Structure formats: C-alpha cells, structure tokens
Chains A and B, each alone.
Chain A
C-alpha cells in the first residue's frame, strides 16, 4: 500500500516541473533583476534607491492603496446586502438570481471597461441623461471615480461568493432559537448572523484587496494619468523607459504587498482553502 501511495505522488511531478520552468524561474529572475544593475552584470541596489527616491513611486503607491481600499469598501458594502438577500431566498430563486452574479463574473474585463467608457464618458449615457434634466456633465471617466466604479463592478462577485457561503453554512435553528427566546430581528442580525459570517467577510475582503492591488486594465482604461496603479507603473518602466531594474523592483514590492495580504488570508478560518490548504 505504501508503495502505491508513493507512486501516486509521482503524478504531481510534470506539473511541478512545468511550473518551475515557466513560473518559479521567471519570478526568481525578477527578484534577481531587481538587485543587479541594468547591464545584468554586477550587484546593485540602485533599483531600490531609485524607486524609493522617486516621487512618482510614492504617488502611484499612494493611489494604489487608496483606490484599492476604496473599491474594497465599496464592493463589501454592495456585496453584503446582496449576499444576505440571496441567502434568504428559496434555492430555485437563488439559483436564478445567481446567474446575474455569475455572468458578469465570467465576462471579460475588457467588455466591462468598454461598457463603462460608453456609460460614464463626457457624452456618455449617464451624462446624456443628466443633461436631459438640465444637469451639468459630471466628470465620471478618466478619474478615480471611473476606476472605482469599474473595479467594484469586477470585484463584487468575488465578495459575494465567500459571504454567501458562510451565511448559508449557518444553521437556521440558531436564529430560530434566539427568536423564541425573544431576540428581535436587529439583535439576531448583530449578535448571531453577522458574527458568524465574519470569516466569510474577512475572506472576501482580503481576497478582493489582493486582486485590487494588482489591477491593470481598469486603471489603464477608465483612469486618468493621476490614477496610475503599481501594475501600470511596472508596464511604464518596462515599455516606455525600458528600465528592467526599476520595473523588477516595483514588481518585487507589489508581490510583497500581495503576499502580506495572502498570508493574512491564510490565517482566516477557511481562508486558506483559497491558497491550496486542505482544511475545508
């Protein structure tokens, strides 16, 4: 039996070899590039020195954080009521309503970005409608507002899934028992439902935070020049200034941020299943 177990383990080898060759080595290359000078020769911390003394970096890092936190907050506050409502529906109704969450989830981010440029633009649908009522055009596109609308739209499903899962996992008897013992609706919600789904909320929030730190398409298409995020700055250094060292340094910094959040996520009960943990 142990013999067979051991042979079963061999099945992971091809995937591991592939991922070392096409994923681990490139990542290691980025880390290496960030500490070697542009010619690829000698060791140098010039990349980090340049980045940490560039005002552009601080501006972009700051807008990455504010945009990420804002869109995470917006998606949480929109996703929670939706998840709560869905959890209270009969399974048939819920299945139908879930289509409206799943289809946007599987729709290309480019389709959404394109749709939002039509919706939010200077002569877009929303501003046309406002003009009809004699209201001035609102600046909704190529600024922070556009980025946050676009990102929240993308992120809401990622927030709905874990929250809905943890709401559905709560035994309804708990709420019934509390109600029999005289607890009111609000009390039940705040003392039972909400605390029990905190792991789901935490998982959703951290997952969405990781995703939003790495956004590229939405800020590039719906944001203005000031709304560049770290991913876009990596692209800028790679493509415009051909400065691989600066680009790699930034990538290492972005990677570290994402891993800090991912590590926190792994500490959340049930959160590690997203990272390949087996505890579900």
Chain B
C-alpha cells in the first residue's frame, strides 16, 4: 500500500514480536529435550538423546501414552460414527427444532470443561460406571464430537446437494446416497476432522483429570501432575514429541485439503 514506511515498519515489528512470542515455548523446549537428565539448562551444554531414552524406557510414561492413544482412537471412531450422520441430518434434513438440536449438539464447545467434568464425575458414580477406560472414552467423546460435526457441516455445505438429488431420483435410498455419494465427496473434511478429533482427545486434560480412576493415567494427566509436583527434565522430551505430533497432524490436514477437488 501507499506511503508511510515508518508505520509499516512498526506494524511489521509488532506482528513479528507476537509471532515470536507464539513460537517461543516450542523453540526452548526442543533444545532442552536434547540436554542432560539431571538438570534443565538452556542452551544445553552437550547434546544427547538421554531424555528420549528415559521416556521410552519408563513403563509408566509408556503406559500413559498407550492409554491416551487407545482412548483417542475410540473417541475419534465414536465421534465420526455419530457426528457425521448428525451433520448430514442437520445440513440436508428439514425438521422442527433443527436450530435447537444444532445448538445442543455444539454447545459443549462453549460450556467450561470443568462443568462437564464435574457432571460426568458425579454421573459416573451415580450410575456405577467403574470401567476406567470406558469412562474416559465416553467423557472425551463429548468434547470431540461437536468438533467433528462442525468440520463435517462445513464440508457438507461444499457438496452440491444436486448430486444427492440425482442419486435419489435414480432410486437410491438415503443410506445409499449417504454412503455412495455424500461420504466419498466429504472425505477431506472427514480426514481433517478425525485427525483433529484424535489430537483433541489425546491432549484433553480437565475432563480426564476429573473422571479418571486410579491406574488410568492418560499422558496429559501424567504430565499435569508431573509439572505440578516435580518438574522432571523428561517432560522436555515428552513435550517435544507431542509438539512433533501436532505439527505432523497439521501438515497432514493441509495436505488433504490441498487435494480437495473444489477450491
């Protein structure tokens, strides 16, 4: 744009300062993760993989990681199984109270997680649900499903309803239309939604912290208590791996979006 290079420089400086603030944590955790096992020094005086070895050699950290992976897989599957049909019904269907149903299904995004967490904690005690892993899967699905619905809804709005109409005219039932026409066209939205749902479930702390039982420590819970009680250097390795995981997911989503036919 025109004139005033000074104002432009000021804006650029401010923007880059904020970007620096945003990436700062990642920038210091990674070097520290290659440092010493006894003391966290930045920058580390010598580089090693000791902290990673410590993480991969510690059965407790590994058990927490596997629990989080298993729970995230189940959570994602259930969210997809329920969320995608729901998005389909909300976008294509016409029924009384549709807005209200949409608001209800998406409301967990706005409700503070501690309220949901306390609710589930009391509820599970009352109905006597004591299966540690099932509790986590059910509870975390409450926060991931709205997200899948949002992603699938956005994707569906890009799918031309005439394609579905054409299939219906030619005699396909609603299930055939859903599975043979709509879902294949929705694939990028589904892949993106499920990657993010997995990541969300994998990182969730508050609900898991409330509803988990002794012996069912997810990775975020283990990290939470570990930062709270003794800040162990192995956390740097765990954090770096988690960050790498987030980056991989973001890249995968960008790649699948790029292959999207429309756009």
Q: A16's contact among B104, B196, B203, B247, by CB below 8 Å, is which? A: B104
Interface centre among B12, B112, B113, B227 (most CB of A within 10 A): B112
A214 to B89, CA, bound (A): 31
Chain B residues within 8 Å of chain A by Cβ, number: 91
Known: A4-B174, A109-B203. A15 touches B82 (CB 8 A): yes
A133 contacts across to B, CB distance below 8 A: none
Given A11-B88, A12-B89, A217-B205 contact (CB < 8 Å)? yes
CA distance A156 to B15 in the complex (A): 12
In the complex formed, the residue of A with least CB distance to B251 is A99
Cβ-defined contact, A26 with B122, below 8 A: yes
Interface contact A110-B205, CB-CB below 8 Å: yes
Scan B223-242; emit 1 where CB is below 8 A from any A CB, else 0: 11001100100011001001
Within 8 A of A (CB), among B1-55: 1-4, 7, 11-12, 14-15, 18-19, 21-26, 28-29, 32, 40, 42
Query: Could you mark each residue 112-128 of chain A with 1 if its beta carbon is under 8 Å from any beta carbon of chain B, else 0?
Result: 11111111000001001
Determine the residue in chain B with the shortest Cβ distance to A239: B210
Consensus secondary structure, chain B interface: helix
Across the interface, which residues of A come within 8 angstroms of B145, CB to CB? 15, 18-19
User: In the complex the two chains form, is A82's CB within 8 Å of B115's CB?
Assistant: no
Bound Cα distance A18, B90 (Å): 16
* Given A106-B199, A111-B242, A117-B113 contact (CB < 8 Å): no
A79 interface contact, C-beta 8 A: yes
A86 near B88: Cβ-Cβ < 8 Å: no
Select from chain A the residue with minimum beta-carbon distance to B122: A29
Query: How far, in angstroms, from A103 to B205 measured CA to CA in the complex?
Result: 19
Encoded as 1 (CB less than 8 Å from any B CB) or 0, chain A from 139 to 174 comes to 000000000000001001100000000000000000
- B209-263 interface with A by 8 A CB criterion: 209-210, 220, 223-224, 227-228, 231, 235-236, 239, 242-243, 246-247, 249-250
Q: Complex Cα distance A22/B105, Å?
A: 12
Complex Cα spacing A103 to B229, Å: 27
Interface digits, A84-95 against B, CB 8 Å rule (1 contact, 0 not)?
111010000000
28 CB-based A-B contacts, threshold 8 Å: A5-B94, A5-B95, A9-B98, A12-B90, A19-B105, A27-B116, A29-B119, A78-B18, A97-B19, A101-B19, A101-B22, A102-B250, A103-B243, A104-B23, A106-B196, A107-B25, A111-B29, A115-B29, A118-B40, A153-B22, A213-B112, A217-B205, A235-B210, A238-B121, A248-B118, A251-B118, A262-B110, A277-B102
A-binding residues in B (CB < 8 A): 1-4, 7, 11-12, 14-15, 18-19, 21-26, 28-29, 32, 40, 42, 78, 81-83, 85-86, 88-90, 92-95, 98-99, 101-116, 118-123, 126, 138-139, 141-142, 145, 149, 168, 174, 178, 196, 199, 203, 205-206, 209-210, 220, 223-224, 227-228, 231, 235-236, 239, 242-243, 246-247, 249-250
Seed contacts A5-B92, A30-B118; 7 additional CB < 8 Å A-B pairs: A15-B105, A104-B23, A107-B26, A110-B203, A111-B242, A117-B231, A119-B28
